[in-house]
Amino acid sequence: MKRQVYNCQAGCPVESTLQIISGKWKSVIWYHFIKNDVCHFGELQRNMKDCSHRMLALQLKELESDGVIEKTIYPVMPPKTDYKLTAFGETLIPVIKSMEEWGTYYNQRKIAKDNMTTGN
């Protein structure tokens, strides 16, 4: 998919970032790369049970097309495929880590609120 560079009206740097990391699974895929450096397709699929095979393949293909991950196919049977972040992709690690931190904060806050509501 052809990506666009926005001409910097309000919000455009955020739009530029979101067009790379948006998609239900891309940030989750990134999170697994941060935790594991190199990931195999099957490993990602096992860790992302709600993501279909087709969707995972599509999201990986888009990330590869954007130059943020690289794919290595080994000539063995059964085929083995590795994915890893490129140097350019690594520049987004702080963004994903911030999302992880905020998500942890949100989850803790939600649990505390739910416990207050139910009296636990």
Secondary element (H or E) of residue 25 = none
Encoded tokens for 114: 């739910």
Q: Fold for 22-118, please state it.
A: Arc Repressor Mutant, subunit A (1.10.10)
Residue ranges per structural domain of the chain: 22-118
pLDDT of residue 116: 80
Highest mean pLDDT out of 22-26, 33-37, 67-71, 105-109: 67-71
Contact call for residues 69 and 57 (beta carbons, < 8 A): no
pLDDT range class, residue 39, cuts 50, 70, 90: very high
pTM over 0.85: no
Task: Please list the helix, strand and coil fractions of the chain in percent, rounded to the nearest 5, in that order.
Answer: 60, 10, 30
CA 68 vs CA 76, 80, 110: distances in Å: 25, 20, 33
pLDDT over 60 at 50, yes or no: yes
The amino acid that residue 87 corresponds to is A
pLDDT-wise least confident of 7-11, 56-60, 81-85: 7-11
pLDDT of residue 13: 79
